[in-house]
Amino acid sequence: MSAILSNHTELLTRERIQQVMQEEVRLNAAFIDGEWITLAGVTNNYETATNNAHNLYDPSTGEVIAQTQLCTAAQVDQAAIAANKAFATWSQTTGAERAGYLNAIADSMEAQFAKLVGLSVFNNGKPIAEAEIDVGDAIACYRYYAELAAAQPTQTVVATDEPGIRLYKYLEPVGVCALIVPWNFPMVTTAWKLAPALAAGCTALLKPSEVTLIPELLLGNILSDINLPKGVVNILPGAAEVGAAMTSHPLIDKVSFTGSNAVGEKVMAQAATSAKDISLELGGKSAIIVREDADIDAACELIVGGIFTNAGQICSATSRLLVHQAIAQPLYQALKAMTEQLVIGEGFAGETQMGPLVSAAQLRQVQKYFAIAAEEQLNCLTGGISSELHAFKEGYFAVPTIYTDVPTDSRLWQEEIFGPVLVTATFADDTQAIQLANASDYALAATVVSADETQALAVASSVRAGHIWINEQQIVLPQAGWGGFKQSGIGRELGEDGLAAYQKSKHILLPN
């Protein structure tokens, strides 16, 4: 546990965090043009807000923890106008000035570290240890882009072969951005989009997931506290209606979306009508390859971490296990034992290693695949049921599940489940392992486990994926670009690529 968190452990109870939510989180409101705009029954210059009531749940119990109001297209229009107006001045700030605001966001998040961790546990259901990593990653992301913003030159000279002329290159912000983030990593995916957008000089409309609004809404307070100029960031709690209004709004220049392929296709179609710049981070069905020389216990640790962290609700989850046939049976035995020893429970319990799924809808999604597995007569090594946890029978729990020797034409092998479900197959040599790993519509991530680093690197270089780990858990650094190939999306986040995604080059030519 970090020093920041250990100094505030008294906050990390459900009762205390519920109090924080009631006192500090602005429910029933949108953050527009630097102000909290109440949504419940208030008339603005556009229309009277409709009764767009929305419940927020504790995934560990299934209980309603808050009721809020969601935005409509009217608030999107208001926010887009504010962001467009703010862009005129924000885009002209220096990189050092923007870095100051980004560092101020990080400072405020550090000061409220335990609150943010607790709110994430409360609304998302993930264990404290995972929520702590999330908040730390978000802070690191804001600091990283602060460094990039401060260091990036405003003008570079382009060498040419033409005598008598000069050519300058400038990097300019793409404009007003619509940032649409998912529910599985509150604050983290927000930072991945918002930090580089601000660093580049863009203004933004941010739509957090309506499922996990509570930790995300605290960001509005932070932006007010650091005196971010009005209109630079607007936070719009909303459902599909708001996302559609953002992606089709004429004042939006760029759309960055993370979520399912089905929604991503709609986002792409909506953005295409006005040729908006677009970034999509979509699905995954990533492979973990365990070579014959791998240490079985170490491999099992990586397998368990790759599929059961965040209850499998990770786009990069290594949900397809490819194991060399020579070690498959002893590995399966060790993996079964390790999986069945996982402590499953509510996020605030210190011993919890895997929490619930985020919602009843997500639990139904996983249950659907349990039924498909039964229809396909797959061999279930362990799990395959929604919950054996009598103390949490009302929550959204699924037991960690492993199916072995799964045919590659199985729906469980081919489709993203987004839950704690692992499918396995064996291979005879590296060539077959690479072929199986690449035989997917997705190509986001992969892991290779081997005692021979040279051979592992050779395998990794042949696997088609945007991010690959060798003998390591799924650590994602802000310096490393993130994104995939095939149907896993368009563009990159994080790293220098993440900043470039919010910039366009401009060249000026003039005589010597």
Nearest to 209 by CA among 68, 74, 78, 82: 68
The β-bridge relationship of strands 203-207 and 445-449 is unpaired
Q: How far apart are CA 416 and CA 214, in angstroms?
A: 27
Active site residue 375: no
Catalytic residue among 132, 281, 346, 493: 281
CA distances from residue 302 to 68, 114, 179, 448 in whole angstroms, order as listed: 39, 28, 32, 10
237: burial class by Cβ within 10 Å (0-12, 13-18, 19+)?
Answer: buried
Active site residue 281: yes
Q: How far apart are CA 400 and CA 381, in angstroms?
A: 10
Residue with tokens 């560990």: 60
Catalytic residue among 141, 202, 300, 315: 315
**E strands, 339-385, in order:** 379-382
User: Residues with Cβ < 8 Å from 18, sequence gap 6 or more?
Assistant: 65, 122
Q: How far apart are CA 447 and CA 17, in angstroms?
A: 36
C-beta of residue 309 within 8 angstroms of C-beta of residue 188: no
305: burial class by Cβ within 10 Å (0-12, 13-18, 19+)?
Answer: middle
Residues annotated as catalytic are 281, 315
